[in-house]
Structure 1
Amino acid sequence: MQLEPYTGSESPPQSKSIALRPKLVAWSSRVWRESPPRSIPLFKIEARIDPRDVEDRALAEALRPFSSQLQKISIYLLHTEEIKPVASWAVGRFDVDTKGAYMFFHDFLSAPNGMLMLQLMQTAGAATDMIMSVVPMKVGSDELILAVADYDLGIHNRIG
């Protein structure tokens, strides 16, 4: 079975999305000063995905040629639409090519509790996990672009 790109313009049915569970490794927070009046807050999570752990066989096979790039994925939690969405219904995008692997979650820092979540992630003993639904948009031998249809980023810690 080969991975086929989604060509519809509307949000795809649930049957077209594929679960993906990156292993989160580390985080860093940055401010990029583009110019004197403009600064862009960035929050980056480093993650990895082993194609052998991907349940969907077609996606696993499409990711396999990029195994080395998937060992260091940069996930950027963005404040504004700094990166163009791959589809109007997408909440993020996952780009993989021969140079690297990057995810962008649009408007995460603008969400009602987005900044609170990042503060909680930094507390001692916190554990973070993520699951997302992705939809293939471009499938090639040198590039794979997936729309992130939804994601669940969880932060867990003990009380007391």
Structure 2
Amino acid sequence: MAKKDDDPEKTRKSGADFDYSLDYKNLDLRKNPELYRVGKGEQGVLMVEPYKSEILPNWRFKTEEIARESSQKILAQFYAYRDADDFVGMDMARKFLQMGYTRARRYANHASGKKYEAGEVRAQEPDALDNEKARAARVFYEKYVEAREDPYYKKRRKAWVEWSKEQG
């Protein structure tokens, strides 16, 4: 009996899946946006140039105040990409906002940033819901939701994913 993973229908990549096989070190996705695939969540956030180099310097979450300044700068980049009708830039800014939230939450939950120790899940910090990193995470989450729910972004994302699926 074949395993689920052996079923070609289950393992075939959708055209919308992030393509890790591309040479991102030498690829400019502003010049070649047709190669960009949205993927899931934060996939590719630290690979896609020139957006990574444009957004990463603004990405910080050490404190709530630093997260507020950082997330505002990244959200401003999101809107600048939107105004330029640059979907890849919008999506990358959205991914950095999402990553600000998830990374700050990781450190809120586990001060070391490590969820596992010796194969076991480490205990969550006693103040994981209201410590400095938790507050930083909330700041990023608000901006992430603003970007994710932007009507123009949602329309462009839907069209991009459909187009990507058609491309195979």
TM-score band w.r.t. shorter chain: under 0.3
Q: Indicate the structure (1 or 2) with the bigger Cα radius of gyration.
A: 2
**Structure that is richer in strand per residue:** 1
Structure-2-length-normalised TM-score: 0.23
Normalized against structure 1, the TM-score is what?
0.24
